[in-house]
Structure 1
Amino acid sequence: MVSIKDIAKKAGVSISTVSYALNGSPKVTEETRQKILAVAEELKYVPNAAARTLKTRETKVIGLYLTDFGGAFYGDLLQGVKEVLNQKGYDLIVCSGKRSHRFLPERTIDGAIVLDATFSDKELLKYAEMGKKIVVLDRELDHPNINHVFLDNKAGATLAMEYLWENGHRRIYVVTGPKASYDSNQRLKAVRQFAERHELDVKEVEGRFTKESGELAAERIFQEYEEPTAVFCLNDEMAVGLYMYFRKTDLVIGRHIHIIGFDNIELAEYISPRLATIDYSKRKWGALASEQLLKMLSGKSVEHERIYVKLIPGESVGSLSNR
C-alpha cells in the first residue's frame, strides 16, 4: 500500500509537507500542493481513514440508528438529517441492528442519532459515560452527553381525541404501535388520560405501525361493528391498512367508520376520503437532531428540544351530531 512516505520520496519533499498538502493546510503553496496531489494520483494513493481518525480523534461521520427503514415515514427525517450534516462537512451512515452498535465504541462514527428500540437504555448510558455524544428521539435519559429531541406526542394524541370528541364520537378504537415504541406509548398514555376525563368507551387494539397490522385491526373492528365507530390509529401506515380493508366491505369511511391517523405521510393527502391526521415536520425533526448533535460535538451546551404538532382535519371523520 502506498504511504505518504512514498509520495514524499517521489515528490522530493518532506513527509510533513505531503501531510499538509493532502489535508489542505495553508502551510504549503498552491504550486506545491498541486505537485504533491499529482504524485499521489500517479501512485494511486488511498488515505488511511483509521490512521487519520487516531490522529484527529474524529471521522466526520455521524450514525443514524433506526429500528426499521420500511414505510413512508423515514424519507423526510433522513433528508433533514443529511442536509444539515452535509452543510457542516459531515457524512451520514444509516444503521439498523445490534451489530452496528459497535460503531460508537470503535470510533467508526463521531456521534449518533438514535430512533432504534434495539438499543437498551443501559447500553446508551454506557456509551455516554465513555464520552460519546448521542441524540435520542425515542426515550428519556438523564446524562450530559445525551440530548432529547422529541415529538410532542401527548399534544398530538390529545388533539386527535378532541377532534373525535367534538364530532360526537364516544366509542373509539385505538390501534397502537409496538409495545417497545416510545412514541406509541406516549400517545397511548394521552389517549387514556383523555378517555378517563371524558368517560369515553375506548378499546385498544395492538398494532405494529404497519399497513398489515392496520388491516388486522380493521378485521376485528368489522367483526364487532354495531354502530358508527371512530378509530384513532397511532400512525398513518395503520390507517391506510384500515382503508384497504374497509373498501372490501359495505362500511363506508366517514359515514360508518371514522378514522384519524398520526404523522401526515404524503399518501394521507391523496387517499379518499382525505385522512384526518396529526401533522409535524419530519424534515425539521431530523435537521434539529443533527444540529443538536453537532453542537454537542463542538463542546457547546444544548437544551432538550421538542417538535410541535397540529391537526389536519379530513373527511375520514364525520360528525355524529348531524345524524
Structure 2
Amino acid sequence: MVGIKDIAKEAGVSISTVSYALNGSSKVTEETRERIKAIAEKLDYVPNMAARTLKRQHTNIIGVYLADYGGSFYGELLDGIKKGLAVFDFEMIVCSGEKSHLFLPERMVDGAIVLDWTFRTQEIQQFADRGHHVVVLDRKIGHENIRKVLLDNKGGATLAISEMVAKGTKFVYLLTGSSKAYDSQQRLEASLKELNRFSIPHETIEGDFTEPSGYEAAKQIMEKKHKLPIDIFAFNDEMAVGMYKYFEKTNYVIGKDVRIIGFDNIEIGEFLLPKLSTISYSKHRWGMLAAEKIVQLIQGMETEDEHIYTTLINGDSF
C-alpha cells in the first residue's frame, strides 16, 4: 500500500512537505501542492484515515445512528442534519447496528446523533462519561456531554385525540410502534390520558412503525365486530399507508366508514386518496438543530436542549 514516504521519495521532498501539501497547509506553495497531489494520484495513494485521526484528534465527521433505513421518514431529517453540519464544515456518516458503535471510542467520528431505540441508554451514558459528545432525538438523558432535541410526541398525540373527540368519536383503535420505542411510549401515554379524560373506550394494537404492520392491524380490526365509523390513530404515517392499502380492498370508504389520523406528515400522505389527516412537524429543522447542538458540544460552546413542536394537518381521512 502506497504511503506518504513513497510520495516523498518520488517527489524528492521531505515527508513533512508531502503531509503539508495533502492537508492543505499554507506552508507549501501552490505549485508544490499540485505537483505532490499529481504524484499521489499517479501512485493511487489512499489516505489512512485512522492514522490521520490519531494525529489530529478529530475527523470533522458525525455519526448519525438510526434503527433502520426503511420507509420515507428519514430523508428530510438527514438532509437537515447534512446542511446543518455543512455550516460548521462537518460531514456525517449514517450508521446502524452494534458494530458501528465502535466508531465513537475508536475516534472515527467526533460525536453522535442518535435516533435509534436499539442503541441502549446505558451505553450512551457510558460514552458520555468517557468524554464523547452525543445528541439524542429519542430519549431523555441528563449529562453534561449529552443534549436532547426531542419531538413533542405528547403534544402531537393530544392534538390527534382532541380532533377525534371534536368529530364525535365513540371508540378509538390506537396503532402503536414498538413498545420499546420512546416516541411510541410518549404518544401512547398522551393518547390514553386524553381518551380516559373523555371516557372514550379504546383498544391498543402494537405495530412496528412499518407499512406491513399497518396492513396487518387493519386486517385484525376488520375481524372484530364494531359500529361505523371505525376510528384509528396510527402512531406514524407509514402504518397509516398500510391501512389504506388494506381498506382499499374492502367496501369500506376511508373518511366515512373508516377514519384515520397518522403522525409524521410524510410526503406520500399528500397523494393518498383521500388525503391523510396527520400530525406534522419540521423534520428538516429537527435535523438542523441536532447538527447545531452536536457541533456546539464538540467545540465547548454553550448549548441547551430543544423541542420540536407539532401541528395538526387536516386531510379528508378523518
- Determine the C-alpha separation between the residues in 1 that align with 2:221 and 2:40: 68
Report % sequence identity.
54
SS where residue 149 of structure 2 aligns?
strand
Q: If the length of structure 1 is used for normalisation, what is the TM-score?
A: 0.93
SS where residue 135 of structure 1 aligns?
strand
**Aligned partner of 1:84: which letter?**
G
User: Which sections of structure 1, spanning at least 5 residues, go unmatched?
Assistant: 318-323
- Determine the C-alpha separation between the residues in 2 that align with 1:141 and 1:234: 23
- Determine the C-alpha separation between the residues in 1 that align with 2:99 and 2:16: 38
Residue pairs, 1:58-97, within 5 angstroms: 58-97=58-97
Of residues 110-119 and 242-251 in structure 1, the stretch that sits farther from structure 2 once superposed is 242-251
- Determine the C-alpha separation between the residues in 1 that align with 2:256 and 2:35: 75
Residue pairs, 1:121-200, within 5 angstroms: 121-200=121-200
Residue pairs, 1:200-239, within 5 angstroms: 200-222=200-222, 223-239=224-240
- Determine the C-alpha separation between the residues in 1 that align with 2:44 and 2:165: 68
Shift of 1:198: 1.5
Cα deviation, 1:275-320, whole Å, max 9, x if unaligned, reads 1100111122112111111111111121011111111001111xxx
Match of 2:246 in 1: 245
Cα deviation, 1:104-147, whole Å, max 9, x if unaligned, reads 11112111111112211111111111111111111111111111
| Equivalences, count | 317
Cα deviation, 1:240-279, whole Å, max 9, x if unaligned, reads 1211112222222111211111011111111111111001
Shift of 1:171: 1.4
Match of 1:310 in 2: 311
Match of 2:263 in 1: 262
Match of 1:321 in 2: none
Shift of 1:87: 4.2
**Aligned partner of 1:268: which letter?**
G
Question: Is 2:299 aligned against 1:298?
Answer: yes
Of residues 37-46 and 145-154 in structure 1, the stretch that sits farther from structure 2 once superposed is 37-46
Question: Is 2:276 aligned against 1:275?
Answer: yes
Moved over 4 A (4+): none
Match of 1:320 in 2: none
- Determine the C-alpha separation between the residues in 2 that align with 1:181 and 1:118: 8
User: Which sections of structure 2, spanning at least 5 residues, go unmatched?
Assistant: none
Match of 1:108 in 2: 108
Q: What RMSD over aligned residues (CA atoms) do the two structures have, in Å? A: 1.6
